[in-house]
């Protein structure tokens, strides 16, 4: 079944579609799959800081995943720094976007302590707790809920709220 999911990802990314639905689906798979991460990174290559904030955030989050999958320390550092800059740019552009906050929370939770990119975890967590119920898009709610259910930042009682 996983093979079929990966095959679907490769075919959908081959057309370099930047639909948010596809980005959400593939982002979940990219965490554990270097090829999906690389294809997403390639698909988002033309996105700049001037583009739609959510696309900038995904490009940033994917760059940090590429750092995770890279072997060379220089590449890891470069991709991670690029990703953080893009994520922070997106947050400044749309500070009340729950999906962008969720992406940043995920990057912070999964970044090594040595990188010191964890200071906004409590803020992003609280933002998500406060604003989840007012989100109107079911697709975004499903994406955020999916992350929360596997997150270590949320208690079992908090997870029950979603």
Question: 55-80 pLDDT, tens per residue?
Answer: 999 999 999 999 999 999 999 999 99
Helix-helix angle 53-69:73-93, to 10 degrees: 160
Q: What is the pLDDT of residues 92-136, one digit of tens each?
A: 999 999 999 999 999 999 999 989 999 999 999 999 999 999 999
Q: How confident is the model at residue 4 (pLDDT cuts 50, 70, 90)?
A: very low
Q: Tokens for 74?
A: 């220089």
Q: 55 near 18, Cβ under 8 Å?
A: yes
Cβ atoms within 10 Å of 117's Cβ, excluding its own: 22
Asked whether the predicted pLDDT for residue 46 surpasses 90, the reply is yes
Print the domain residue range for 65. 2-160
CATH of the domain at 90: 1.25.40
Model pLDDT, residue 14: 41
Indicate the number of domains in the chain: 1
Q: How confident is the model at residue 161 (pLDDT cuts 50, 70, 90)?
A: confident
- pTM (whole model) above 0.75: yes
8-state DSSP, 96: T
């Amino acid at each position: 079944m996983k093979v079929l999911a990966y095959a679907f990802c490769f075919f959908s990314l081959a057309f370099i579609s930047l639909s948010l639905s596809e980005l959400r689906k593939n982002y979940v798979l990219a965490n554990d799959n270097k090829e999906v991460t690389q294809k997403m990174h390639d698909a988002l290559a033309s996105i700049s800081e001037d583009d739609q904030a959510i696309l900038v955030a995904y490009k940033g989050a994917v760059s940090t995943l590429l750092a995770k999958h890279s072997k060379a320390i220089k590449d890891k550092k470069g991709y991670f720094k690029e990703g953080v800059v893009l994520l922070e740019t997106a947050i400044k552009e749309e500070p009340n976007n729950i999906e962008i906050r969720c992406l940043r929370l995920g990057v912070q939770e999964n970044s090594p302590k040595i990188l010191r990119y964890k200071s906004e975890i409590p803020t992003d967590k609280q933002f998500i707790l406060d604003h989840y119920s007012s989100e109107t898009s079911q697709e975004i709610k499903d994406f955020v809920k999916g992350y929360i259910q596997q997150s270590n930042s949320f208690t079992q009682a908090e997870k029950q709220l979603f």
